[in-house]
Amino acid sequence: MEFINKLTFNDDGLIPAIAQQYDTNEVLMMAWMNKASIEESLETGRVCYWSRSRQAFWRKGESSGQIQLLKEFRVDCDADTLLLLVDQTGPACHTGRRTCFYQVVTEKGELNIDSDPLIDPEELYKK
């Protein structure tokens, strides 16, 4: 996959990746990938990020069952940001909401939550 050599990774070997639902164009989340997680995602067709907090592969949906199928893999003009068109099963967010971007800044400069969880997070992560 020669395109990987054209990408600019940060000092930690990571590149930001935006996930967008391929048919509705909703922006679902932003996370980080390294070379190995990019290769795995393209090989398996299921999106795998790199978790900065856990310092480990983050196979989206591994614990929640809410997977992301990869439909299209895009690279920006500077090759330092990725746009993944995905088919997201259920909620993308660990709060159980469809998208992670559920907080909107109000005129008073406060954060207002404007969507509800699709699934209770306790339900999402129970064994």
Where along the sequence are the contacts to a second copy (CB under 8 A)? 1-4, 6, 16, 18, 20, 24-27, 29-30, 42, 72-79, 81, 83, 93-95, 97, 100-105, 109-111
Q: Closest separation between CB of residue 82 and a second copy, Å? A: 8
- Tokens 């997070």 correspond to 121
Tokens of 69: 């199928």
Q: Select 56 or 77, whichever has its Cβ closest to a second copy.
A: 77
Q: Select 83 or 119, whichever has its Cβ closest to a second copy.
A: 83
Specify whether the CB–CB gap between 82 and 33 falls below 8 A: yes
Please state, in angstroms and rounded to a whole number, the distance separating the CA atoms of residues 126 and 107: 38
Tokens of 1: 């996959």
Q: Closest separation between CB of residue 62 and a second copy, Å? A: 18
